[in-house]
A and B are shown apart, each in its own frame.
Chain A
Amino acid sequence: MDDLLAARSQMAMSLAFHIIFAAIGIAMPFLMIIAEWKWLRTKDEIYLTLAQRWAKGTAILFAVGAVSGTVLSFELGLLWPTFMGFAGSIFGMPFSLEGFAFFTEAIFLGIYLYGWKRVPPRAHLFAGVMVALSGVLSGIFVVIANAWMNAPTGFRLVNGTPVDVDPIGAMLNPAAFGQTLHMSLAAYAATAFLVAGIHAFMLRRDPYNRFHKAAITIALVVGGVSAILQPLSGDYLAKSVAKTQPVKLAAFEGQFKTEQGAPLRIGGIPDESAGVTRHAIEIPYALSILAYGDPNAVVKGLNDFPADERPPVAIVHISFQIMVACGVAMMAVAVWAAWRYLRKRRKQTWLDSKWFLRALIAAAPLGFIAIETGWTVTEVGRQPWIIYGVMRTSEAVTPMPGLVVPFITFTVLYIFLAVITVFLLLRQVAASPRMPEPPAKEARLAA
C-alpha cells in the first residue's frame, strides 16, 4: 500500500467511524429531551425511565465520539499538512466555532448525565436542550468546512498562494446550505430509525411492554419527519452539485457521454475502461429534469472532462444508488407509519402489527448505511481533489513514510472500541425495564 493510499484509507476509516457517533450525538439528545419533556408534562414515570435509559447508552457513545473526533482534528495535520497549511486560515473559522459548540455540549452533557439528582428538573431539561442544540451546531460547522472543500470560495489564487482571504465568504460557500441541511436531517433520520428498530425488536419479544411503545413513538415522530424531508433535501443538494461540481454529478449517474435529455439510471455497473454504464434501468430525460429542471438540458459526461480530473466512477455511482435506495425505503416506512398513526383512533394500538414492527426492524440500519455511502459519494466523488479544482489530494499528503502502520494501528484500535461499545450497549438493551400496559381491555387485543 503506498503512502497516499494509506493516508486516504486512514482518513476514510477515521471519519466513517466518527460519523456514526457524531450522528448519534446529534440526534439522541433530541430524543432524550422529548422524553424528558413528556415526563415533566404527564408525570408518567415511563418517560423518565426512557430518558434515563437513553442517556445511559448515549454516555458511552459520546465518549467514543469525543475521542475519535479529537483524533480527527489532529489527523487533518498528521496526514494532510500541506492542505492545512494552505487552507487553515480560510476554512479554520467553522472549526473554531465548532470548538465552542463542543465546549457547550460537553459541559451540559456532564450536567445532564450526572446531574439527575443535583439540579432541579427544569434546569436538567435545559441542560438537555443545550446538548441537543450544540450537537447539531457542531455538525453544521464541520460540514460547512467540508462543503468548502467541495466548493471553495472566499479567496483568490495568485501563484499558488491564497490572497484576499475572506473566511465568512468561505463559510457561505454554495455547497454549505445543502450539505448541512442534508447531514442534519440524516443524523436525525438515521438515529431515530435505529432506535425505533431496536425497540421494535424488543417489543416483538415482549409485546405488552409500554416502555418500548413510548420509545418507538417518539423515535418515529423525529425519524419520520426527517426521512420524508431527506429526499427533498437530497434533490436540492444534487442540483447544487450539478452546478458546482459537474464531474461529480456525472460520476453519481454513471454518465459518460455528454447528452441532451439525459436519462436517470437506476442501478447499473459503470465500466470505466469501456466508458459505459451497463445493466441500468434508464428513465428517459429524468436526469436532465432532476439536475436542471429542464428535460432538454445538456448533462456533461465524464468523457468530456480531462482523464486526470475524473473520480473513480464505479464506487461513486454504486454508493449513490445505495444511498438513494435507503432514502426511498426509509421514506416509505415513514409514510406507512404516518398512515397507521393517523388512522387509529385509539393511539395505544397503533404499533400492534407484526408486519409493521418487522419493517421497522429491517429499516433500522438503513440510515447509517445511507450516511456511510453518502459520504463515500461526496468524498470519493471529489477525487482527485482535496480542495475541488484547487489542490490535489496527492499534493496534500504528508512526507512521512510508513503510513500503513498508523492506518493499521487505528483500524485495530477502532475495531476493538466498536466491539466493546456494541457489547456494552447490547447489555443495556437486553435489560429492558418491565413496564406492562395498564390492565385495560385493549391491551389484550394486541397483534
Chain B
Amino acid sequence: MPLEVIIVGVMVASLVLYALLGGADYGGGVWDLFAFGRRAREQRTLIAKAIGPVWEANHVWLILVIVLLFTAFPPAFAAIATALHIPITLLLIGIVLRGTAFTFRTYDFQRDDVQRRWSLVFSIASIITPVLLGTILGAVASGTIRVEDGAVTSGFLRSWLAPFPIAVGLFALTLFAFLAAVYLTVEAPKRELQEDFRARALVSGVAVGLLALTVFVLAKSGAPTVRAGISRSWWALGLHVLTGMFATAAFYSLWTRRYKLARVCAAAQVTLILLGWAFAQFPHLIEPDVTIASAAAPQITLELLLIALAAGAIVLFPSYYYLIRVFKAE
C-alpha cells in the first residue's frame, strides 16, 4: 500500500478516536445545557467528572489530524484553510470558549449564579463546535471546493453555507450527544441518573437516525460523488447493513438496560459511519480536485512521519490506557 494511503488511514483513525472520545466530551456539554429536573445538579456533576481529567488529552486527536494533514498533504491543508477560513475560525472560537469556560467553571466561585454563567458558555460552545466540525467535513466531501493550480477558485462561502454541509454538522452534533448519553449511562453512579441518561440516549438516538436520513437525501444534490460512492460500490451495502445492525443493537441494549453493551455498539456505529464516509471519498482528500496522491508530500517525509507515528504510538497507547483506567474504572 502506498505510504500516503497509510497516513490517510492513520488520519481517519485519529478522527474516529476524536469522535469517540473528544466527541463525547462535546456531547457532555450538550447534556449540561439540557440538565433539568430534580437531579439537574447531579447530572452536571457527573458530566463534569466524566470530562475533567480527559478532555485535554482527547482534544489532541484533532491536533494530530491537523498536523498530519499539513505535513503529509500540504496543498490540501492550504486549500481547506483557504476555502473554509470562516467556519474554521468560528470552530476555533468554539474550541477556545468550550475549553476555557469548562476550566473556569471548575476554579471560579462555587456560587450558583457564577456557575450557571460558565455552564451556559460551556454548553453553548459545546453545541456550536460539533456543528461547525461537521459542516467543515461536509464541505470537504461535497465537491464544491474547487482548486486550480493550488489556488481555491470557489470563494469563501459557497462550499459550506449550503444545506448539505450544515445537515452534516447537525448530524455530528446529534451523534456526539448520543455517544455522550450512552457513555454516561455506564458512568452514572446510581440508578436514577442512569435512567436520566438512558432516556436522553434514546431520544438522541432517534434524532441521529432522522438526521442520517436527511443527510443522505440532501447528498443527492449536495454531494453527488460521495453519495454515489455510498450507494453503489460493492462494500457500501455491507457497511450499511453493519452500521444499521450496530445502531439497532445499541438501541436494543439501551432499551434492555445493558449499558456496557450499548456503549460498545454505539461506538461501533459511529466508527462505521466515519469509515463509510472515508471510503466513499477515497481517493479524494477534497472532492473533486485534490486526491491523496496529488497532494502527498515527498516520499521521505512520509516515511519519517510513519516512523514517528509508530514510535509515538508505543508511548501513547499505554499512557492513554493508564489514564482511562485510572479515571473510568468503576
Chain A residue numbers with a CB within 8 Å of B53 are 110-111, 113-115
How many Å from the CB of A280 to the closest CB on chain B?
A: 43
Chain A residue numbers with a CB within 8 Å of B305 are 92-93, 96
Max chain B Cβ within 10 angstroms of own Cβ: one of A96, A165, A400: A96
CB of A281 within 8 Å of the partner chain:
no
Would you call B70 and A95 a contact (CB within 8 A)?
A: yes
Would you call A85 and B60 a contact (CB within 8 A)?
A: no
Instruction: Give Cα A77 to B241, complex, Å.
Output: 38
CB of A109 within 8 Å of the partner chain:
yes
Closest residue on chain A to residue B91 by CB atoms: A74
Instruction: Using A77-B80, A93-B304, A113-B53 as known contacts, say yes or no to A85 and B327 having CB atoms under 8 A apart.
Output: no
Chain B residue numbers with a CB within 8 Å of A86 are 74
Interface residue from A81, A88, A99, A118 paired with B64 (Cβ < 8 Å):
A99
CB of A336 within 8 Å of the partner chain:
no
Instruction: Give Cα A400 to B309, complex, Å.
Output: 33
Within 8 A of A (CB), among B9-63: 52-54, 56-57, 59-60, 62-63
CB of B326 within 8 Å of the partner chain:
yes
Q: What is the predominant secondary structure among interface residues of chain A facing chain B?
A: helix
Instruction: Give Cα A99 to B100, complex, Å.
Output: 20
Chain A residue numbers with a CB within 8 Å of B221 are none
Would you call A78 and B81 a contact (CB within 8 A)?
A: yes
CB of A409 within 8 Å of the partner chain:
yes
Chain A residue numbers with a CB within 8 Å of B71 are 88-89, 92-93, 95-96
CB of B93 within 8 Å of the partner chain:
yes
Instruction: Give Cα A71 to B322, complex, Å.
Output: 28
Chain B residue numbers with a CB within 8 Å of A87 are 74
Q: What is the predominant secondary structure among interface residues of chain B facing chain A?
A: helix
CB of B104 within 8 Å of the partner chain:
yes
Chain B residue numbers with a CB within 8 Å of A68 are 96
CB of B150 within 8 Å of the partner chain:
yes
Chain A residue numbers with a CB within 8 Å of B309 are 96
Would you call A63 and B81 a contact (CB within 8 A)?
A: no
Chain A residue numbers with a CB within 8 Å of B56 are 62-63, 66, 106, 109-110
Chain B residue numbers with a CB within 8 Å of A74 are 66, 81, 88, 91-92
CB of A211 within 8 Å of the partner chain:
no
Would you call A398 and B67 a contact (CB within 8 A)?
A: no
Max chain A Cβ within 10 angstroms of own Cβ: one of B62, B68, B103, B106: B103
Interface 1/0s, chain A 66-91, versus B by CB < 8 A? 11111101111110011011111110
Would you call B74 and A89 a contact (CB within 8 A)?
A: yes
Would you call B85 and A400 a contact (CB within 8 A)?
A: yes
Within 8 A of A (CB), among B103-162: 103-104, 106-108, 150-152, 156
How many Å from the CB of B28 to the closest CB on chain A?
A: 15
CB of B102 within 8 Å of the partner chain:
yes
Within 8 A of B (CB), among A117-134: 118-119, 130
CB of B291 within 8 Å of the partner chain:
no
Chain B residue numbers with a CB within 8 Å of A81 are 77-79, 81-82
CB of B315 within 8 Å of the partner chain:
yes
CB of B249 within 8 Å of the partner chain:
no
Interface size on B, residues (CB 8 A): 64
Instruction: Using A59-B107, A99-B64, A103-B60 as known contacts, say yes or no to A88 and B74 having CB atoms under 8 A apart.
Output: yes
CB of A406 within 8 Å of the partner chain:
yes
Chain B residue numbers with a CB within 8 Å of A59 are 103, 106-107
Stretch at the interface among B186-194, B255-263, B294-302: B294-302
Would you call A398 and B82 a contact (CB within 8 A)?
A: yes
Max chain B Cβ within 10 angstroms of own Cβ: one of A59, A100, A111: A100
Would you call A111 and B59 a contact (CB within 8 A)?
A: no
CB of A379 within 8 Å of the partner chain:
no
Instruction: Using A67-B95, A92-B70 as known contacts, say yes or no to A100 and B315 having CB atoms under 8 A apart.
Output: yes
CB of A107 within 8 Å of the partner chain:
yes
Would you call A103 and B57 a contact (CB within 8 A)?
A: yes
Instruction: Give Cα A66 to B99, complex, Å.
Output: 8
Instruction: Give Cα A85 to B311, complex, Å.
Output: 26
CB of A22 within 8 Å of the partner chain:
no
How many Å from the CB of A227 to the closest CB on chain B?
A: 30
Would you call A84 and B81 a contact (CB within 8 A)?
A: yes
Q: A59-B103, A67-B100, A409-B93 are in contact. List 4 more A-B contacts (CB 8 A).
A: A81-B79, A110-B54, A413-B93, A424-B107
Chain B residues close to A by CB (< 8 Å): 52-54, 56-57, 59-60, 62-64, 66-68, 70-75, 77-82, 85, 88-89, 91-93, 95-97, 99-100, 102-104, 106-108, 150-152, 156, 297-298, 300-301, 304-305, 308-309, 311-312, 315-316, 319-320, 322-323, 326-327
Please list 22 pairs of residues, one from A and one from B, whose beta carbons are closer than 8 Å in the complex, sorted by A's number: A60-B107, A66-B99, A74-B81, A74-B91, A74-B92, A77-B70, A77-B81, A78-B85, A84-B74, A89-B74, A89-B301, A92-B67, A96-B309, A107-B57, A107-B323, A110-B52, A110-B323, A119-B326, A398-B82, A400-B156, A409-B89, A413-B96
The 3 closest A-B pairs by CB, nearest first: A92-B71, A77-B81, A88-B74
